[in-house]
A and B are shown apart, each in its own frame.
Chain A
Amino acid sequence: MADLRNNFVGIKSPNPFWLASAPPTDKAYNVERAFKAGWGGVVWKTLGEEGPPVVNVNGPRYGAIWGADRRLLGLNNIELITDRDLYTNLREMKQVKMNWPDRALIASIMVPCEENAWKSILPLVEETGADGIELNFGCPHGMSERGMGAAVGQVPEYIEMVVRWCKQYTRMPVITKLTPNITDVRKPARAAKSGGTDAVSLINTINSITSVNLDTFSPEPSIDGKGSHGGYCGPAVKPIALNMVAEIARDPETYGLPISGIGGITTWRDAAEFLVLGAGNVQVCTAAMTYGFKIVEEMITGLSAWMDTKGHRTLDDICGRAVPNVSDWQYLNLNYIAKARIDQDSCIKCGRCHIACEDTSHQAITQYVDGKRHFEVMEDECVGCNLCVNVCPVQDCITMVGLEPGVLDERTGKTVDPNYANWTTHPNNPMARQAAE
């Protein structure tokens, strides 16, 4: 059995699956249920400063997009940080931590960008016995208009400043949560590191309007006929999150900085992808909000089974394993040549590969052969683009097969060169020509 125990910046949990700071972690009742279901840790829903709590809208808070069979693919929300009294939250956190000493309990915090605000809340949090804090620099709606959340996360100098205060005023590990609503996620990550953060977590939600009501012309979710952008999450954001995690993981300036991966994690496979791209653990929200806490069982057993199959014993064996394979485009091997192959036994003859290739790509898939409906790749036309693989409704029916060195590429009439060659030295690259001249 693979060992899934997780040690993230000194915070120990029985598995790497934490619930992200969000509605599922708003109060003891939910968190207790989550721990019973098997979650390794939770990041408690973001605490605000002492005083009257924030208020939420009293109409719909969520918008969504769906795939076939109304599978939830993307969710957005306009809910703010906790709308419960600070001390109620602190009291519950303390009790839950006492009840579940082996689980990780992290306090997410968002207070104004003033030293005193942070200085005064940190001891209160520390007193609960929480294992660490997460700085919410990510929420893109509501709080950012008040100079908090993403408004901080979008200014690297602020990030560095606040992290520094936190490191100064608490002994708890500091995790800095980053917003994706910026152009280069490496900048805030570097700033957090400069400020002394123990880790970063990402991504927070993405600015979004999920849909518009075509009867009322109001964005959804609609509050009395008006809508506001909300924070987008769920399976649809996973690719964006993976890229941002990888960017930080391979940036020389932040290399080795622990990362808690967040963004659309729905299955063990998603989680494993975050881990191998450099995340030390993962945080989940939308999947739990869609299916309930029980999904963690699938994640734990799935990750464990895959690790067993592959002979990975601990999380350290897999974390970051894919990072060296994330490259810039210019270093990709232009001598690697692949062609699509259609397995005729599993082909259901829907014709989607053909029409995708015919209408929008390279006219490399037949429709009829000898008068019969038959879809086959014409290797002399196939550029190996992979579109047919992606539009095929049957898994593994179409696969990409790399040509061995020395084999003739029927499209170019040249044999496959065994040597690695990339754009930086390609004759068509003006920069490369200049260098040669």
Chain B
Amino acid sequence: MGTTETGILSGRLSPVEYERNFSDLHPPLDEHEALVASDRCYFCYDAPCMTACPTSIDIPLFIRQISTGNPIGSANTIFDQNILGGMCARVCPTETLCEQACVRNEAEHRPVEIGRLQRYATDIAMRENRQFYQRAEPTGKSIAVIGAGPAGLACAHRLAVKGHDVVIYDAREKAGGLNEYGIATYKAVDDFAQAEVDYVLAIGGIEIRNNQMLGRDFSLNDMLARHDAVFLGLGLAGVNALRAEGETAEGVEDAVDFIAALRQSATKADIAIGRRVVVLGGGMTAVDAAVQAKLLGAEEVTICYRRGKEHMNASEFEQDLAAAKGVTIRHWLQPKRIIARDGKVAGIELDYTSITDGRLTTTGETGVLTADHVLKAIGQTFEADGLGIITLQSGRIVVDGEGRTSLDRVWAGGDCVLGGEDLTVSAVAQGRDAAESINHVLAAASQPAVAVA
């Protein structure tokens, strides 16, 4: 079967092509490459890369450790700040974080390859299952972590280190959250997300209960009754609706579901894709979906974004990646209606848009793209079921600097909180910091009274 047959079909490619298309996007550095790359680091003082890292990894130190033949020590440096440093090395938009801040850009426009070096060190430590942390004396405290994504895992690990017992409740079949279900396959090959979950859980003291959904299987009050504290790392379970005619036609799909299905597929040959795919949206999810649609054998893939290139949430690197894979990115186009034939998608009509007086408006001009598969990547929403009276703003949980919510004994972090950056690495930082805050509060509460003589 070729790529030119119309309709949403699986098995467009040969097994060899699937394997090639979904292999590692950035192959790991070998030892020689890592040494050459690490030699480029200047060991800056108060390094801008470190400041740019949401988890504040000591980047100059971990790179120097690589360059001196100490990758295990390097991994320790990374994990001290970010226990999911392995995944972050793969999925961080380094080009807008550490690598953008690298001083090498100033003179040479080519940063140190921080992300790939981080992967080099963490891969070695994880391959050898080197564990760097031991649990403190048991505190007898129990904490519920709701959501086994990056925020929840980082929080649980730090709490376990402090000697607390942790139960993670997760709505899905597997732990990992977006690391397991939301990341493009070629960024986390070889079931890395599960390997990382295992690595994190090896600390001990963390129990994961899957298929446990807040609002369906338990409420926040249940958790508060059972545990000393609760951390909400719920992520964004909902997706925005298109609110356009024809949205229910067969062949209109949420990009997050498409990406999740791809991740769960072993061979990718079972994942159906259209011949002409239109992806709606301008973020990382749109790019991940579009690129993978192309890799599955779609003949044409077009991203339609309702604003300009400069407004896209997908980084420059991601946009270039999409272009390199043969995806067409079109700007200033907003879906008007899905054109259906026999209940199936046949095309999409789009309004041309512009910004007038600071507001996005349609120009009155329209256009039609032929399509048999439409993927919606127009944003995810927080679903607050089961949270009770917790304070929300703009549909997200409000937290203070330590991750405390408006409710006593409840902390939150990751994509579900207000002001989040929708980044794995930010979620990790918030989970970790909330754990420190929880530990601090619990320790203060259990401090024995000091007798005054």
Listed in ascending order, the chain A residues whose CB lies under 8 Å from chain B are 68-70, 346-352, 354-355, 367, 373, 393-394
Tell whether A393 pairs with B42 under 8 Å between CB atoms, given A69-B36, A349-B48, A351-B47: yes
Tell whether A394 pairs with B35 under 8 Å between CB atoms, given A355-B45, A373-B48: no
B39 touching A349 by the CB < 8 A rule? no
- The interface residues of chain A lying within 8 Å CB-to-CB of B47 are 350-351
**Which residues in chain B, 43-99, are within 8 Å of chain A measured between CB atoms?**
43-48
The listed residue (A346, A348, A367) touching B46 by CB distance below 8 A is A367
Q: Which of B100-108, B182-190, B272-280, B380-388 has 4 or more CB atoms under 8 Å from chain A?
A: B100-108
B44's nearest neighbour on chain A, judged by CB, is: A350
A397's nearest neighbour on chain B, judged by CB, is: B107
Can you spell out 14 A-B residue pairs with CB atoms less than 8 angstroms apart?
A: A69-B36, A70-B35, A346-B107, A347-B106, A348-B104, A348-B106, A348-B107, A349-B103, A351-B45, A351-B47, A352-B42, A355-B46, A373-B48, A393-B42
Cα A367 to Cα B47 with chains together (Å): 11
The listed residue (A69, A346, A349, A352) touching B43 by CB distance below 8 A is A352
Cα A351 to Cα B46 with chains together (Å): 7
B106's nearest neighbour on chain A, judged by CB, is: A348
Which 7 A-B pairs rank lowest in CB-CB distance, beginning with the nearest? A351-B45, A355-B45, A348-B106, A68-B39, A348-B103, A350-B44, A350-B103
Cα A68 to Cα B103 with chains together (Å): 17
Cα A264 to Cα B332 with chains together (Å): 63
**Which residues in chain B, 393-411, are within 8 Å of chain A measured between CB atoms?**
none
Cα A373 to Cα B35 with chains together (Å): 29
Count A-B contacts at CB 8 Å. 39
Tell whether A69 pairs with B39 under 8 Å between CB atoms, given A349-B106, A350-B103: yes
Min CB distance A348 to B, Å, is: 4
Min CB distance B269 to A, Å, is: 44
- The interface residues of chain B lying within 8 Å CB-to-CB of A346 are 107
Cα A351 to Cα B36 with chains together (Å): 22
B45 touching A352 by the CB < 8 A rule? yes
- The interface residues of chain A lying within 8 Å CB-to-CB of B104 are 348
- Binding site of A, secondary structure by majority: helix, strand, loop or mixed? loop
- The interface residues of chain B lying within 8 Å CB-to-CB of A367 are 45-46
- The interface residues of chain A lying within 8 Å CB-to-CB of B103 are 348-350
Most buried by B among A349, A352, A355: A349
**What would 8 more interface pairs be, CB under 8 Å, given A348-B107, A352-B42, A354-B45?**
A70-B35, A348-B106, A349-B106, A350-B47, A350-B103, A351-B46, A373-B48, A394-B107
Cα A423 to Cα B5 with chains together (Å): 91
B44 touching A352 by the CB < 8 A rule? yes
The listed residue (A350, A354, A373) touching B42 by CB distance below 8 A is A350
A375's nearest neighbour on chain B, judged by CB, is: B45
Cα A93 to Cα B224 with chains together (Å): 93
Cα A393 to Cα B112 with chains together (Å): 14
- The interface residues of chain B lying within 8 Å CB-to-CB of A69 are 36, 39
- The interface residues of chain B lying within 8 Å CB-to-CB of A355 are 45-46
- The interface residues of chain A lying within 8 Å CB-to-CB of B35 are 70
**Which residues in chain B, 26-46, are within 8 Å of chain A measured between CB atoms?**
35-36, 39-40, 42-46
Cα A350 to Cα B49 with chains together (Å): 10
Min CB distance A345 to B, Å, is: 10
Min CB distance A369 to B, Å, is: 14
- The interface residues of chain A lying within 8 Å CB-to-CB of B48 are 349, 373
- The interface residues of chain B lying within 8 Å CB-to-CB of A352 are 42-45
Min CB distance A291 to B, Å, is: 18
Min CB distance A184 to B, Å, is: 38
- The interface residues of chain A lying within 8 Å CB-to-CB of B45 are 350-352, 354-355, 367
Cα A413 to Cα B449 with chains together (Å): 60
Cα A350 to Cα B106 with chains together (Å): 10
Cα A258 to Cα B156 with chains together (Å): 76
Cα A68 to Cα B35 with chains together (Å): 9
Cα A347 to Cα B103 with chains together (Å): 9
**B6-38 CB contact bits vs A (8 Å, 1 = yes)?**
000000000000000000000000000001100
Cα A16 to Cα B47 with chains together (Å): 47
A346's nearest neighbour on chain B, judged by CB, is: B107
Cα A68 to Cα B47 with chains together (Å): 20
- The interface residues of chain A lying within 8 Å CB-to-CB of B46 are 351, 355, 367, 373
Cα A204 to Cα B42 with chains together (Å): 34
Min CB distance B172 to A, Å, is: 43
Cα A349 to Cα B44 with chains together (Å): 8
- The interface residues of chain B lying within 8 Å CB-to-CB of A349 are 44, 48, 103, 106
**B169-212 CB contact bits vs A (8 Å, 1 = yes)?**
00000000000000000000000000000000000000000000
- The interface residues of chain B lying within 8 Å CB-to-CB of A351 are 44-47
- The interface residues of chain B lying within 8 Å CB-to-CB of A348 are 103-104, 106-107
Min CB distance A394 to B, Å, is: 6
- The interface residues of chain A lying within 8 Å CB-to-CB of B106 are 347-349
Cα A161 to Cα B220 with chains together (Å): 98
Min CB distance A419 to B, Å, is: 40
Cα A349 to Cα B105 with chains together (Å): 11
B38's nearest neighbour on chain A, judged by CB, is: A68
**B416-451 CB contact bits vs A (8 Å, 1 = yes)?**
000000000000000000000000000000000000
- The interface residues of chain B lying within 8 Å CB-to-CB of A68 are 39-40
B42's nearest neighbour on chain A, judged by CB, is: A350
Cα A352 to Cα B44 with chains together (Å): 6
Cα A352 to Cα B48 with chains together (Å): 12
Min CB distance B167 to A, Å, is: 44
B43's nearest neighbour on chain A, judged by CB, is: A352
Cα A373 to Cα B45 with chains together (Å): 11
Cα A70 to Cα B39 with chains together (Å): 9
A394's nearest neighbour on chain B, judged by CB, is: B107
B46's nearest neighbour on chain A, judged by CB, is: A351
Min CB distance A349 to B, Å, is: 6
Min CB distance A398 to B, Å, is: 14
Cα A330 to Cα B107 with chains together (Å): 41
Cα A354 to Cα B44 with chains together (Å): 10
- The interface residues of chain A lying within 8 Å CB-to-CB of B40 are 68
Most buried by B among A69, A70, A350, A367: A350
- The interface residues of chain B lying within 8 Å CB-to-CB of A393 are 42
